[in-house]
C-alpha cells in the first residue's frame, strides 16, 4: 500500500475536516449539517439527495469578499445554480458568471442585477448573445474572433456593449488535463503566443459598438498552487502594456478567472484565498509599476471554492458484495448524480452515518447503480466491515459540479437539492420523476 494511501486511511472514517463548518456529531452515530440531522433529511426527502449548507455558502462568500476587498468577486454559476443560490450570492454582494442563456435567464428571473453578470462561453449561440443583450449583462467575454462581429451586429449601430477578451496566457495548471485551460491545446480563449489575442483585441477596438474594458484569462480548475496565477498576472500585464503602446488604450480591468482548488479528502491541499489575494495584489502592483501602467481593477471567479465544501451527497446502500479481498458497497446513485470520478478521476471520502458500528473499518469501494464499470463514487476508502443494505452513506464536498453535471442516465432521475440552515431543511430543487421523463418523450 502506498504512503499517500496509508496517510489518507490513517485519518480515519470519522474525520470531518472537509465537511461544512456547521457539521456536528450526534448520538448513535448521527451527523448534522446546518443544525439538521442528515438521517432526517434522508427520511424526509429520500435518497439520493444533495444537501447544501446555506451558512457555509454565505461564509465562503464573505471570506472571499474579505480577502479581496478592492476586487470584484464573481461567482461561477456553472459550479451550482438555483434560485436560492442566486439570492444568496446577490445578498453577499458577489457578481455572477454565466455560460448560457439558461443560466442567465434563471439568474435574471431570480432578480439578480444584470450589470453584475458576466457571460462566458467558447461557442455562444445567437440566443445566448441576444439574451445577454436583452437583459443587459455587464460584460461579455469574447472567446473567438467570430464573436466580435456577431456581438457588434446584434448590439446595433445605436448601442454599446462592454466586453473583455479571453486570453490564453500559456500557463498549465489544474488538477486534471481535462480541466486545464491556460494553454493553447484546448478550446478556450485566444492565444497569446501566436498573436490571436492581439489580433482580436485590435478588432474589438475597431468596433464602435463594443467597449473593451479589460482582459480575461482562466488557466484551469482545482488549482492549489499560487505560482501559476502569478505567472498569468505578469503575462497579462505585459499584454496590457503592449496594447497601450500599440493602440494608446489603457485597459482598466483584469479578470483572472477562478479554478481555486478545495480539499475533497482530509489531508488534501487547498488554495488559501487570503494568501492568494496577498500575492496577487503585490505582484499585480509590481508588474504594473514596471510596465508604467495604473493598477487595473481585479476580478476573480471562484465557483467550486464557494459551493463545493458546502454540499453533502446522501445515498442508501443497496448491496454489499465481497469479491476476493475487495468490498463493494453499491448505493442508489452514482455517475448520474456525480460524473466527476468517471470524468476526472475525482476522489471523495464517504462516511457511514445514522448508526454506530463496532466493526473494524475495512478498505472499500463505493460504487453506483448504473450499467458502467466506471460508475465508482469512491475507491480505497474506509468503511465499517459490517456495512449493509439500508445504511446511509454521506459524501462531503459535493456542492460543485454534481447538481450542474447530473444526467438522466438509465432514467434514474436526478436527486433533489435540500438547503439546511439554522436547524431547518427546505427543498430547493425537487426530485426528477418518471412523469418528467414521460412528458418529455412526445414521439410514438
| Least confident span in 5-9, 45-49, 255-259, 418-422 | 5-9
Measured CA to CA, the distance from residue 150 to residue 146 in angstroms comes to: 7
**Any catalytic annotation for residue 44?**
no
pLDDT at residue 157, rounded to an integer: 86
pLDDT at residue 324, rounded to an integer: 83
Please state the rounded mean pLDDT for residues 110-133: 96
| Least confident span in 48-62, 184-198, 406-420 | 184-198
Measured CA to CA, the distance from residue 29 to residue 40 in angstroms comes to: 13
Measured CA to CA, the distance from residue 316 to residue 304 in angstroms comes to: 25
Assess whether pLDDT exceeds 90 at residue 304: yes
CA atoms within 13 A on the CB side of 204: 31
**What would the grid cell of residue 67 be?**
480577502
Please state the rounded mean pLDDT for residues 297-323: 97
**pTM of full prediction above 0.85:** yes
Of 61, 99, 288, 371, which is the active-site residue? 371
Assess whether pLDDT exceeds 50 at residue 242: yes
Q: Alpha helix (H) ranges present in 336-442?
A: 340-344, 434-440
pLDDT at residue 15, rounded to an integer: 87
Please state the rounded mean pLDDT for residues 24-33: 96
pLDDT, tens digit, for every residue of 152-163?
Answer: 999 988 899 999
User: What band does 344 get if pLDDT is binned at 50, 70 and 90?
Assistant: confident
Assess whether pLDDT exceeds 70 at residue 64: yes
Please state the rounded mean pLDDT for residues 127-135: 97
pLDDT at residue 192, rounded to an integer: 86
Measured CA to CA, the distance from residue 180 to residue 174 in angstroms comes to: 5
Share of the chain above pLDDT 70, in %: 93
Please state the rounded mean pLDDT for residues 381-400: 97
Do the beta carbons of residue 428 and residue 106 sit within 8 Å?
A: no
Higher-pLDDT residue of 296, 189: 296
Provide DSSP, 131-199: HHHHHT-SEEEE-SHHHHHHHHHHH-TT--EEEEEEEE-S---SSSGGGB-SSSSSSSSEESSSSHHHH
Which residue ranges form the domains of the chain, and what is each CATH number? 3-52+309-440 (2.40.37.10), 56-306 (3.20.20.10)
Element containing residue 245 per DSSP (H, E): helix 227-247
pLDDT at residue 367, rounded to an integer: 97
Amino acid at each position: 500500500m502506498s504512503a499517500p494511501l496509508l496517510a489518507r486511511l490513517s485519518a480515519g472514517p470519522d474525520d470531518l475536516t472537509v465537511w461544512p463548518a456547521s457539521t456536528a456529531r450526534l448520538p448513535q452515530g448521527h451527523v448534522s449539517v446546518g443544525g439538521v440531522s442528515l438521517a432526517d433529511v434522508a427520511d424526509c426527502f429520500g435518497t439520493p439527495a444533495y444537501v447544501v449548507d446555506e451558512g457555509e455558502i454565505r461564509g465562503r462568500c464573505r471570506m472571499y469578499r474579505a480577502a479581496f476587498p478592492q476586487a470584484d468577486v464573481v461567482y461561477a454559476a456553472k459550479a451550482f445554480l438555483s434560485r436560492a443560490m442566486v439570492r444568496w450570492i446577490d445578498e453577499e454582494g458577489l457578481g455572477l458568471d454565466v455560460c448560457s442563456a439558461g443560466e442567465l435567464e434563471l439568474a435574471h428571473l431570480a432578480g439578480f442585477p444584470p450589470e453584475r453578470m458576466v457571460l462566458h462561453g467558447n461557442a455562444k449561440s445567437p440566443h445566448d448573445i441576444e439574451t445577454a443583450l436583452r437583459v443587459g449583462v455587464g460584460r461579455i467575454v469574447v472567446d473567438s474572433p467570430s464573436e466580435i462581429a456577431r456581438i457588434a451586429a446584434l448590439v446595433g449601430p445605436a448601442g454599446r456593449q462592454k466586453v473583455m477578451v479571453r486570453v490564453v496566457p500559456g500557463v498549465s495548471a489544474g488538477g486534471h488535463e481535462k480541466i486545464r485551460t491556460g494553454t493553447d491545446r484546448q478550446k478556450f480563449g485566444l492565444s497569446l503566443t501566436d498573436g490571436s489575442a492581439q489580433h482580436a483585441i485590435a478588432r474589438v477596438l475597431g468596433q464602435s459598438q463594443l467597449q473593451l474594458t479589460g482582459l480575461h484569462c482562466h488557466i484551469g480548475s482545482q488549482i492549489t498552487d499560487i505560482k501559476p496565477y502569478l505567472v498569468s498576472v505578469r503575462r497579462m500585464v505585459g499584454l496590457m502594456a503592449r496594447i497601450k503602446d500599440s493602440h494608446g488604450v489603457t485597459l482598466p480591468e483584469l479578470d483572472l478567472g477562478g479554478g481555486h482548488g478545495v480539499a475533497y479528502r482530509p489531508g488534501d491541499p487547498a488554495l488559501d484565498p487570503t494568501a492568494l489575494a496577498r500575492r496577487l495584489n503585490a505582484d499585480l502592483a509590481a508588474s504594473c509599476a514596471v510596465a508604467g501602467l495604473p493598477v487595473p481593477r481585479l476580478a476573480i471567479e471562484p465557483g467550486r471554492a464557494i459551493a463545493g465544501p458546502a454540499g453533502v451527497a446522501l445515498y442508501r446502500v443497496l448491496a454489499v458484495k465481497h469479491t476476493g479481498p475487495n468490498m463493494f458497497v453499491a448505493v442508489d446513485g452514482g455517475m448520474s448524480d456525480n460524473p466527476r470520478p468517471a470524468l476526472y478521476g475525482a476522489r471523495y471520502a464517504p462516511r457511514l452515518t445514522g448508526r454506530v458500528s463496532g466493526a473494524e473499518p475495512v478498505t472499500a469501494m463505493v460504487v453506483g447503480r448504473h450499467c458502467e464499470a466506471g460508475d465508482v463514487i469512491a475507491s480505497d476508502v474506509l468503511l465499517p466491515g459490517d456495512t449493509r443494505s439500508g445504511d446511509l452513506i454521506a459524501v462531503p464536498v459535493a456542492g460543485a459540479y454534481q447538481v450542474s453535471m447530473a444526467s438522466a442516465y438509465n432514467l434514474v432521475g436526478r436527486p433533489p437539492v435540500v438547503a439546511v440552515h439554522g436547524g431547518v431543511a427546505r427543498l430547493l430543487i425537487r426530485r426528477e420523476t418518471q412523469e418528467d421523463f414521460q412528458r418529455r418523450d412526445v414521439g410514438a
